[in-house]
């Protein structure tokens, strides 16, 4: 049984309310993805770092991500660490991920743990218990979750999210080219992603606080498919959207426009490589170069904010 908003004290701020407040305070919906790659770091940071030295790589990842956080924290409402880039370096990488999450929280950023987790029964409960909420070991405000094991696999995440005033983002229409292999399959006259969207809308509505528009359950919907983005916003009026695909994957501000509601809320637009490695691409490469990579990060963030506002 899906838990409802009644399971939560009315005086406690829900995840949707937390995210709404953060977006309104920063006056933009930019979500900065923390996807550290050793080969993409500025040369000054990766010089003499052996690629197989997990401790050394994790240490430089921590420095890099925390500097990114320092730069973007005054500008944007949220960050999204991608767990895989840390997990590949074993225990040292996982410790770095924990430290980065804690540092982001110390800067009052909303933290979305991008792990795309799921399983059934007690395993799903363990994933949810370990990651969601400020009192969990990982202390994430939200988690990305796959829906393809069915409703009973999502229920433990929803229950924990409601109990801990956290959130989940369910994969509905992803930004990658191959996503359509399953997501676009026609079932009973409509694509599979629409069936998932209807279920996500249902449980988001059930977890919505009385005084708010959005529930604890959001959706991942890519900017690379703007027509489906508009379609899904209409189908899921009570769901926050996490919108990947902006920047390096080809999505532009006009492609993401349909994600927002009439108040300009309801979506956070993710940009990872386009911001954290901005020094590699024009116009920031010419303006700043590798030496001034931190200035390039700030400039790219401000440019994206301006583009979304336009």
116 noted as active-site residue:
yes
Helix 121-131 to helix 151-164 angle (10° resolution) is 30
Please, what sign has the CA dihedral across residues 203, 206, 212, 216? negative
**Pairwise CA distance, residues 242 & 144, whole Å:** 9
Give the pTM: 0.94
**What distance lies between CA 63 and its chain's CA centroid?**
21
**Pairwise CA distance, residues 245 & 243, whole Å:** 7
DSSP 240-271: -EEE--BSTTSB-HHHHGGGS-TTS-SEEEEE
pLDDT at 253: 80
Active-site hit among 26, 52, 116, 309: 116
Helix 54-72 to helix 293-309 angle (10° resolution) is 50
Which parts of the chain have pLDDT scores under 50?
6
Express each pLDDT in 199-209 by its tens digit: 999 999 999 99
If one counts every other C-beta atom within 10 angstroms of the C-beta of residue 196, the result is: 20
pLDDT at 249: 55
pLDDT at 225: 82
**Pairwise CA distance, residues 131 & 100, whole Å:** 14
- Specify whether the CB–CB gap between 201 and 235 falls below 8 A: yes
Domains of the chain, start order: 5-309 (3.20.20.70)
Express each pLDDT in 138-165 by its tens digit: 999 999 999 999 999 999 999 999 999 9
pLDDT at 173: 94
pLDDT at 9: 52
Mean pLDDT of the chain, nearest integer: 93
- Specify whether the CB–CB gap between 106 and 79 falls below 8 A: no
């Amino acid at each position: 049984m899906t838990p409802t908003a009644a399971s939560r004290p009315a005086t406690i701020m829900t995840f949707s309310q937390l995210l709404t407040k953060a977006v309104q305070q920063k006056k933009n919906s930019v979500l900065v993805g923390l996807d550290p790659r050793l080969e993409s770091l500025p040369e000054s940071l990766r010089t003499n770092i052996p690629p197989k030295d997990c401790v050394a790589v994790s240490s430089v990842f921590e420095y890099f991500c925390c500097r990114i956080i320092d730069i973007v924290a005054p500008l944007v409402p949220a960050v999204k660490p991608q767990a895989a880039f840390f997990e590949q370096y074993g225990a040292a990488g996982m410790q770095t991920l924990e430290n980065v999450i804690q540092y982001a929280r110390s800067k009052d950023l909303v933290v979305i743990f991008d792990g795309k987790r799921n399983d059934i029964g007690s395993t799903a409960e363990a994933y949810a218990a370990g990651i969601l909420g400020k009192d969990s070991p990982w202390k994430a405000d939200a988690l990305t979750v796959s829906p393809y094991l069915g409703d009973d696999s999502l229920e433990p995440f929803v229950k924990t999210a409601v109990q801990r005033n956290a959130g989940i983002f369910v994969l509905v229409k992803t930004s990658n080219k191959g996503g359509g292999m399953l997501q676009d399959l026609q079932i009973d006259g409509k694509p599979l992603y629409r069936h998932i969207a209807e279920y996500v809308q249902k449980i988001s509505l059930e977890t919505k606080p009385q005084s708010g528009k959005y529930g604890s359950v959001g959706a991942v919907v890519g900017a690379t498919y703007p027509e489906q983005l508009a379609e899904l916003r209409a189908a899921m009026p009570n769901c926050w959207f996490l919108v990947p695909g902006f920047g390096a994957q080809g999505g532009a501000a006009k492609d993401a426009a349909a994600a927002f509601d009439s108040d300009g809320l309801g979506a956070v637009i993710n940009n990872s490589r386009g911001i954290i490695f901005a020094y590699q691409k024009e116009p920031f490469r010419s303006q700043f170069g590798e030496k001034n990579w931190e200035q390039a990060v700030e400039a790219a963030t401000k440019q994206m904010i301006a583009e979304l506002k336009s």
